[in-house]
Chains A and B, each alone.
Chain A
């Protein structure tokens, strides 16, 4: 018989919602299934996916809370008289953030309604090629059929199951943003940007925070930039336990948690107690309960992610996938949204434009932010050879830090270019305040094939941090001092 819907999207997150809403614009019959399996600690949330509920949004807001803490300190240098002591209330912040997130959940539901997209709060799984079985929390079943299906179920934080007590006593980012009470003295083992960002803002709001890392921070990112970021965090007050990994977590009588770990440098075993242990060991794709084998959608055996081609199609022609669930794609909201929209435009809007995953700009919202676009220095060297690239760099001091008497040791910019005559820019890296705002426009320039000479012809806006990028002229090769002096 005829399929009920033209498009069924499983997963109401960044990618899924963008795809569904775009398809609806073309007058198609669209449905979205969204369901949140509670975390092991019992946390759950509404429509919108990871970004809205337990990702970018609450993270940036809490990061902002921490930045405002620094602003309070700066303000005194600028003449503002604030009586000490100054306290931070987790519950005031958390409630404000959670209320805002809930307003977004509501906003998404209203939008779907406005665009006449049918929304099911159900967990979906494949019954056959065009049929999805949806299950509500109460166990009620609904069958939905569709011509085209998009899987956008995203991922969830992993637990290090090999560590005793990890599951029972630890939390993840899924829980952190919904805590009603302060997490207190916190340990975040392993180091993806999530854990650094969280450790950063927890430190900023005054909590005793420790990051534990086995090897390198921010794997996959430019390592020189990554170490500047962590160096800053150390001077900011975050404790680092380097070259260590946890072996067990136990609960004490006081209800605190005792963590035991191995220090690989010293070969010793150490323990300490914390109020909270937040795991950030990576995310696993949410595919287990989808029943993909029934319909033959292939996944990567190692990562579990769904394999797609350049048009977001899976191994089954009418089944597509976008977002964090797809293999080889950046785990970012804007790419998921763009991919979802373009997919809908190709399916229903006569477009043939494919998603361009190259040169996607991104920002790590650590206390001193790190924005980047393009290749890391090591990737450029690997790709072209160190003789064929030129790296321009500078240490600068944001004007606002001067009166505030803030140290700017890690405020640093690096631009990796091809060495040949045109000097096309391969990668741009910026550490400093408002890194995201700075990098965005340059990301656009790089998409246009910007070269070093073109950037140098661009006049700077004064006084900003971003203008330092247009003034880069010291190369690493020259060995000259790269500290910016004077106006």
Chain B
């Protein structure tokens, strides 16, 4: 869309290879269809379930029995997504960007072959190319995984309630999904190979896990599934999962209605003809290394988003990188995407917002004696009346003593963590110090003032 502003002739090829279970979706990519958007809406549905319980303590009176209807929720969510798909198509049309619902792959220099759903092939040439094919969920490679398990690609449009669910994985995708499924009243178990939220501050990750456990989510730690079998067909059916301990020979079995795999995502770079044009990829991860201007080793081919090596897999980062790239190419701008201090939020039942270094990375980079960690538990005012979870919410900032106690890490665990974290991220971009933080007056009574 940005390139079209500069009166360039632009084409977008978008195609969704159906999931093993046959699921597909419209224009917009992961975020819109099977990521951030439906995730946050279902998380909201779960939060509203909690709000219902709280509301009784605030004087609201209604029948004891409150049930959740999966189909009502999913239909609403899918309708909204449909409106976004539509919105994107309209936007592209208005901006005179040519859109083709076809699978693109390089066949030679400056040339791409587009194959649509019906197998019709067309060739297109362009001066420059941008690869932004993103990723898809990884499968375990065990018997029964593709036949019987679902992934996040399937969950948000599942036409039946998943019921008793086993979530395999410890990524934020796994924990967020487990979180909202439990919040909707389902029986949820999470099977974790080793640690939670690898790459995130482990102190915070453990607190998130603890909170989830206290709220009824079962964790099976240090096990991996080795086979999935179907006991009974149905929507959902019944599945038997066999798992092996990572620490010995113990084998366990469990029965679930649904098995959701959330063990990671693989870049969609292997089958788009990159070898035909000489674009180098990391053979192991499939990711594309680029320079700080998002350029691959082939000068006229660029890449943005989840497929980039060593960059963050986040929608806003991809958007920013894409926009700035185009502004550099066609509007004479020089700004590069700033990948440092990118704030993020994990929308688990107890939300976690962060910006900057984790405590362990800060210690590693600066040395324990050169950093100061300020922290506090807090109790959101809104949780007092319903007597909920006293002392579970938590905030910590990590400061660099040698640099005027500059804030280099911000972490908060509590409601609306995203809303809280955003402004602090802006402040960190401005180089905020602990002294400035101390002299800023709090808004009262909100969680962020802590």
Q: Taking beta carbons and an 8 Å cutoff, which residues of A are in contact with B? A: 51, 56-57, 60-61, 64-65, 68-69, 71-72, 74-75, 77-83, 85-94, 96-97, 100, 205, 332-335, 338, 353, 356, 360-363, 371, 399-400, 402-403, 434, 436-445, 447-451, 454-455, 457-467, 469-470, 485-487
Chain B's nearest CB lies how many Å from the CB of A197? Answer: 13
Interfacial residues of chain B within 307-340, with CB under 8 A of chain A in the complex: 314-317, 320, 335, 338
Q: Are B314 and A51 in contact (CB under 8 A)?
A: no
Q: Which residues from chain A contact B385 at a C-beta distance below 8 Å?
A: 61, 64, 96-97, 100
Query: A485 is contacted by which of B31, B91, B316 (Cβ under 8 Å)?
Result: B91
Instruction: Take A440-B443, A457-B429, A459-B314 as given contacts and tell me if A89 and B61 are in contact as well, using a CB distance cutoff of 8 Å.
Output: yes
Tell me, in angstroms, the Cα distance from A77 to B75 when the chains sit together.
10
The number of residue pairs between A and B whose CB atoms lie closer than 8 Å in the complex comes to 294
B386's nearest neighbour on chain A, judged by CB, is A96
A90's nearest neighbour on chain B, judged by CB, is B59
Instruction: Take A65-B58, A83-B62, A466-B422 as given contacts and tell me if A459 and B338 are in contact as well, using a CB distance cutoff of 8 Å.
Output: yes
Chain A's nearest CB lies how many Å from the CB of B391? Answer: 14
Tell me, in angstroms, the Cα distance from A173 to B27 when the chains sit together.
53
Q: Are A461 and B60 in contact (CB under 8 A)?
A: no
Q: Are A441 and B426 in contact (CB under 8 A)?
A: yes
B291 at the interface (CB under 8 A from A): no
B402 at the interface (CB under 8 A from A): no
Chain B's nearest CB lies how many Å from the CB of A446? Answer: 8
B137 at the interface (CB under 8 A from A): no
Q: Taking beta carbons and an 8 Å cutoff, which residues of B are in contact with A? A: 28, 31-32, 36-37, 40-41, 44-45, 48-49, 51-52, 54-55, 57-63, 66-74, 76-77, 80, 84, 87-88, 91, 184, 314-317, 320, 335, 338, 341-345, 353, 381-382, 384-385, 416, 418-427, 429-432, 436-437, 439-449
B345's nearest neighbour on chain A, judged by CB, is A461
Q: Which residues from chain B contact A459 at a C-beta distance below 8 Å?
A: 314, 316-317, 320, 338, 342-343, 425
Q: Are A92 and B431 in contact (CB under 8 A)?
A: no
Tell me, in angstroms, the Cα distance from A443 to B71 when the chains sit together.
42
Query: A56 is contacted by which of B60, B68, B317, B445 (Cβ under 8 Å)?
Result: B445
Chain A's nearest CB lies how many Å from the CB of B152? Answer: 16
Q: Are B80 and A402 in contact (CB under 8 A)?
A: yes
Chain A's nearest CB lies how many Å from the CB of B299? Answer: 26
Tell me, in angstroms, the Cα distance from A91 to B314 when the chains sit together.
47
B424's nearest neighbour on chain A, judged by CB, is A441
Q: Are B421 and A68 in contact (CB under 8 A)?
A: no
A442's nearest neighbour on chain B, judged by CB, is B423
Q: Are A360 and B441 in contact (CB under 8 A)?
A: yes
Q: Are A69 and B60 in contact (CB under 8 A)?
A: yes
Q: Are A438 and B440 in contact (CB under 8 A)?
A: no
User: Can you list 11 A-B pairs with a CB-CB distance of less than 8 A?
Assistant: A72-B55, A78-B44, A83-B63, A86-B60, A399-B41, A436-B443, A440-B424, A440-B446, A441-B420, A441-B423, A458-B429
B432's nearest neighbour on chain A, judged by CB, is A448
Chain A CB within 10 Å, residue with most, of B63, B71, B425, B449: B425
Q: Which residues from chain B contact A334 at a C-beta distance below 8 Å?
A: 441-444, 449
Instruction: Take A75-B49, A332-B444 as given contacts and tell me if A68 and B427 are in contact as well, using a CB distance cutoff of 8 Å.
Output: no
Per DSSP, chain B at the interface is helix
Given contacts A79-B45, A454-B429, 16 further A-B contacts (CB under 8 A): A65-B60, A68-B58, A71-B52, A72-B51, A77-B72, A79-B68, A79-B74, A80-B66, A436-B449, A440-B423, A451-B430, A458-B343, A459-B338, A461-B316, A461-B421, A487-B315
Instruction: Take A68-B54, A75-B52, A487-B37 as given contacts and tell me if A454 and B381 are in contact as well, using a CB distance cutoff of 8 Å.
Output: no
Chain B's nearest CB lies how many Å from the CB of A430? Answer: 10
Query: A87 is contacted by which of B62, B320, B422, B427 (Cβ under 8 Å)?
Result: B62
Tell me, in angstroms, the Cα distance from A441 to B444 when the chains sit together.
13
A84's nearest neighbour on chain B, judged by CB, is B62
Tell me, in angstroms, the Cα distance from A363 to B338 when the chains sit together.
31
Instruction: Take A88-B60, A448-B436 as given contacts and tell me if A78 and B73 are in contact as well, using a CB distance cutoff of 8 Å.
Output: yes
Tell me, in angstroms, the Cα distance from A92 to B55 when the chains sit together.
11
Q: Are A461 and B443 in contact (CB under 8 A)?
A: no
Tell me, in angstroms, the Cα distance from A440 to B443 when the chains sit together.
6
Q: Are B66 and A81 in contact (CB under 8 A)?
A: yes
Chain B CB within 10 Å, residue with most, of A79, A205, A434: A79
Tell me, in angstroms, the Cα distance from A434 to B422 when the chains sit together.
12
Tell me, in angstroms, the Cα distance from A457 to B36 when the chains sit together.
21
Instruction: Take A72-B52, A461-B422 as given contacts and tell me if A81 and B445 are in contact as well, using a CB distance cutoff of 8 Å.
Output: no
Q: Which residues from chain B contact A87 at a C-beta distance below 8 Å?
A: 60-62
Q: Are B69 and A81 in contact (CB under 8 A)?
A: yes
Q: Which residues from chain B contact A441 at a C-beta distance below 8 Å?
A: 420-427, 448
Q: Which residues from chain B contact A462 at a C-beta distance below 8 Å?
A: 31, 36, 314-316
Tell me, in angstroms, the Cα distance from A92 to B386 when the chains sit together.
12
Q: Which residues from chain A contact B54 at a C-beta distance below 8 Å?
A: 68
B418's nearest neighbour on chain A, judged by CB, is A464
Tell me, in angstroms, the Cα distance from A91 to B68 when the chains sit together.
29
Q: Are A486 and B91 in contact (CB under 8 A)?
A: yes
Chain A's nearest CB lies how many Å from the CB of B59? Answer: 3
Q: Which residues from chain A contact B444 at a C-beta distance below 8 Å?
A: 51, 56, 332-334
Tell me, in angstroms, the Cα distance from A332 to B446 when the chains sit together.
13
Q: Which residues from chain B contact A466 at a C-beta distance below 8 Å?
A: 418-419, 421-423
Q: Are A68 and B31 in contact (CB under 8 A)?
A: no
Q: Which residues from chain B contact A51 at a C-beta distance below 8 Å?
A: 444
Chain A's nearest CB lies how many Å from the CB of B70? Answer: 6
Q: Are B443 and A78 in contact (CB under 8 A)?
A: no
Q: Which residues from chain B contact A464 at a C-beta distance below 8 Å?
A: 345, 418-419, 422
Q: Are A437 and B448 in contact (CB under 8 A)?
A: yes
Q: Which residues from chain B contact A400 at a C-beta distance below 8 Å?
A: 40-41, 44
